Amino acid sequence: MLLFLYGSLLDPEVLARQSGERRLARRLRPAVLPGHARRPLRGTPYPTLIRQPGAVTEGALLRPGPAAFRRLAAYEGAEYRLTPVRPHTPRGPVRAHAWVAPRWRAG
């Protein structure tokens, strides 16, 4: 599954620690998500996405293996749900998923 990452998992050290794969960050590819803004998740230091016309969120695309995906899903926890998104790359839009919390949780 292709993931759009936009928060703490963009940090290579966090990504390595949470995925269990030291070199996974080498597979990150820049992307932007139009129509979405990054907002803090209320009561935490972590972000979530909200739909917002005209906004653009910078992030990266990643296709982790099954073991890394399971670990990343556990890290994201129950607050976040995998949501289909259409990030743009230099080659055009792609289909991906992002972990997004319910809008009411956005600060």
Q: Locate 77 and state its tokens.
A: 């926890």
pTM here? 0.94
* Domain span at 54: 3-105
Q: How many domains does the chain have?
A: 1
DSSP-derived secondary structure for 33-88: EEEEEEEEBTTSS-EEEEEEEEEEEEEEEE---HHHHHHHHHHH-TT-EEEEE--E
User: Any idea what the CATH number is for the domain that residue 84 is in?
Assistant: 3.10.490.10
| pLDDT recorded at residue 104 | 86
| pLDDT recorded at residue 84 | 98
Is 4 in a helix, a strand, or coil? strand
In which band, very low, low, confident or very high, does the pLDDT at 2 lie, cut at 50, 70 and 90?
A: very high
Each residue's pLDDT tens digit, 49-104: 999 999 999 999 999 999 999 999 999 999 899 999 999 999 999 999 999 999 88
| pLDDT recorded at residue 60 | 98
